[in-house]
Structure 1
Amino acid sequence: MIVLRLLDLPSGLRSTYIPPMLQLAATLNILGGGAYQRQVGSDWAAPMGQSTIAEITSKVIKRMQSVLCPLMIKFVPMESTKEFFFEKYRIPGVIGCIDGSHIMILRPTENENMFFNRKGRHSLNAMIICDEKTKIMAINARYGGSAHDSFVWRQSEERVALEREHLSNSTSSWLLGDSGYPLEPFLLTPYRNASENSPEMNFNSVHSQARCIVERCIGRLKSRWRIILEERKCRYKPIRVVEIANVCAALHNICCTHNVPHPEVNIPNTSRNHGFEIPPTGESFSREAKRIRDAIRDDLYVM
């Protein structure tokens, strides 16, 4: 009812008109169950033809994109997030965690090479930033699976915002990301090739525990909205899949806000050894980022 009220879907007078409640139910069935349109249309509770289902879901998803996404997905760092990460992990300044997640799609008919990922499958590489409550603060699924996590990050509005804040002499806020991202003053990554029992290894261990929150977020997102689950392939054009990913993120946040029980999922260790160092953005940024990370490393080792 909350989503239905927010969307304010139009009503009609024709005897063949589908009530807003059924329009939303059919759309949520596809997003949550990952079912095909024909299967949803044959549901005894809301029997509809495949073409009707296609028209309804297209309109409802576009409506969700325009109404729910701006309302529910906002990159607004909170002091409470910093407090959580410091109290639990002793890492100061953390405003969220970032990771990339691939959404599998059918083989595109255009620009196929842009969607061919390193695992030999076609996908979109979605950048996700979440807070300590696994609420999604930002999602960017506009780039194909061939795009590296660091590339998606560097094109993002969130990076622009954090860089602007840093250049305005604010150096106390950063995200946590894995080694697929460049080390920057506003994005802390693990040390590479850290020695056993060293301060760097200790930092990496705490960093990994804290960053697990975004892995949990992605696991819950895909388990609840199974249309973007890795085992499935979205049977839509890439531009439509971007809309679906955004809408699923907004619905995920609504569930978090209203304490809807989330599916329990096993969270695998998705930290990737990329085999190469992601180049820093600039020398001055690199020096400042290393200074911040080293200071946190030393404090954690003393603790």
Structure 2
Amino acid sequence: MGPIRNNKKRKVEKKADENNNNNSAVVSGSSSEDFAELWDVFSMTLAGVSSSLRASDEFGSGFRMSRTCFDYISELVKDHMMAKTHFAFSNGKLMSLNDQVALALTRLGSGNSLISIGGSFGAHHSTVSQITWRFIEAVEEHGLRHLQWPHSTSEIKRRFEAAAGLPNCCGAIDTTHITMLLTSSDQESETWLDRKQSHSMILQAVVGPDMRFLNVVAGWPGKMDDASVLRSSDFFKQCQNGKKLNGPKIRLSEGAEEEEELGEYLVGDSGFPLLPWLMTPFRGDGLSEGEAAFNGRVVETHAVAKRALSRLKRVWRMIQGEMWRPDKHKLPRFILACCILHNILIEIDGGDGFDDEEEPEHDPGYKHLVCDAFDKAALVLRDKLCMHFSR
């Protein structure tokens, strides 16, 4: 994760989503037994569909997850969320665990304001805020095992090589901007002003072949370029020191005059530096046939990171659009929780319901920057890898 300075209280959002008010579904309290009856109500609230449409399979279309996945998440956060203050709806009825999880998922999944969601659920906006933050804490505390560097990378490398032919590749790295709507009165507004003249925070992610996040870094201002965010991360230091991407090297060819070994590495686009553990495409005109072929493999492999970030924003819409005056010190933890939930959905539901959908651009409007930094040893390794494909 990136820099988290402190945990200031989140300011109440005053900007409501008027469109959602037309399709609100007020919930008056539910127990574990009757939550199944409210399943579609929560789903329709998130999807923006009239609550009169009731069907048991509609939950997946709203929350983008199965009931099995919802139950798993509820069990994951149960101890943390039920150990402290009990929450109630505006009518005084206590909220069950399922009610609280559904409310928090709606907040993260819809991106609507606290007031709008509170109106839909029949709860005060401060209750929405408190429940969502407690849910974030619970997911972070109990779900982090779903987002960690793998103990073995053999299966990841096998799948990447099968997909695009790159041997010993352990992941694809990319970044995206999480945009914010800050006012001129915000003393830190200039700090977060990026090159598109928007306020944003950077998310850097390393992605596996199944679109699961293997490592994420969040918290740096959107004005930073990809290379600067990478170099500022603990992940960079661990790779440089051989604590990550330190698995077995492979021989690129048998019987070569010079020993041609290739260690584990990631692939990135031209916004990242070329390093022994980070392969980027060849640049310039007049590329050889082998260089063009290598670039094609890199681009195809790197696309998994773009799809993952696009899906992350599409499912967890709170981090997709401009957030109204978010607490910038808590925001990295919101982003981390969404990334963990992203992985849980893939692990339990296998990405059902997404494969047939075209992923939109995850960072529209941001001009691609090029990094000229390179490591001389990485130049040699990339040339050898290119020659390997030429053979």
Give the structure 1 partner of residue 158 of structure 2: 83
Q: Which runs of structure 2 are paired with 1:169-188 in the superposition (5 Å)?
A: 172-188=263-279
Q: Distance in 2 between matches of 1:176 and 1:157?
A: 18
- Partner letter of residue 65 of structure 1? E
**What's 1:195 paired with?**
286
Contact 2:310 2:362 in 1 (8 A): no
Q: Deviations over 1:150-190 (max 9, x none)?
A: 11111222222222228979651000001111111111111
Task: Pick the aligned partner of 1:250 from 340, 343, 349.
Answer: 340
Q: Distance in 2 between matches of 1:262 and 1:151?
A: 36
Aligned: 1:266 with 2:341: no
Q: Gapped runs of 5+ residues in structure 2? A: 1-70, 250-261
Q: What's the offset of the Cα at 1:269?
A: 9.3
Higher relative helix content: 1
Q: Amino acid of the residue matched to residue 102 of structure 1?
A: H
Whether the aligned pair in 2 keeps the contact of 1:85 and 1:132 (CA below 8 Å) is yes
Residues 1:37 and 2:119 aligned together: no
Q: Report what 1:160 is aligned to.
A: 237
Kept after mapping to 2: 8 A contact 1:126/1:141: yes
When Rg is computed on C-alpha atoms for both structures, the one with the higher figure is: 2
Q: Which residue of 2 aligns with 1:296?
A: 385
- Among candidates 367, 372, 376, match of residue 278 of structure 1: 372
Q: Which residue, 108, 116, 122 being the options, matches 1:47?
A: 122
SS at 2:209 equivalent: coil
Structure-1-length-normalised TM-score: 0.88
Letter in 1 for 2:82: P
Report sequence identity in percent: 22
Question: Match for residue 214 of structure 2?
Answer: 137
How far apart are the structure 1 equivalents of 2:316 and 2:128? 18
Look up the SS of the partner of 2:215 in the other structure.
Answer: strand
Contact preservation (8 Å) 1:27, 1:57: yes
Aligned residue identity for 2:332: V
Which residue does 2:77 correspond to in 1? 7
CA offsets 1:269-299 (integer angstroms, 9 cap, x no match): 9796425x4323xxxxx12211111111112
Q: Do the aligned partners of 1:215 and 1:267 also contact (CA within 8 Å) in 2?
A: no
* 1:283 equivalent in structure 2: none
Contact 2:345 2:351 in 1 (8 A): yes
Distance in 2 separating the partners of 1:193 and 1:268: 24
For 1:114 and 1:184, how far apart are their aligned partners in 2? 29
Distance 2:87 2:337 in 1: 28
For residues 306 and 187 of structure 2, the distance between their equivalents in structure 1, rounded to whole angstroms, comes to 31
RMSD of the alignment, in Å? 2.5
Give the number of aligned pairs. 292
Over 3 Å counting, the alpha-carbon distance change for 1:182 and 1:260 in structure 2 is closer
Q: How is 1:72-111 mapped onto 2 (pairs within 5 angstroms)? A: 72-76=146-150, 78-107=153-182, 109-111=186-188
SS of 1:42's partner is helix
How far 1:232 moved relative to its partner? Answer: 3.5
After TM superposition, give the deviation of residue 199 of structure 1 in Å. Answer: 2.3
SS at match of 2:82: coil
Q: Is the 8 A contact 2:109 2:316 kept in 1?
A: yes
Q: CA deviation at 1:78?
A: 1.3
Cα offset, 1:51, TM superposition? 1.5
Separation of aligned partners in 2, 1:262 and 1:247: 21
* 1:245-291: CA deviation from partner (whole Å, max 9, x where unpaired): 1010000000000125243233449796425x4323xxxxx122111
CA distance in 2, matches of 1:193, 1:272: 18
On the 8 A contact 1:203/1:301 being kept in 2, the answer is no
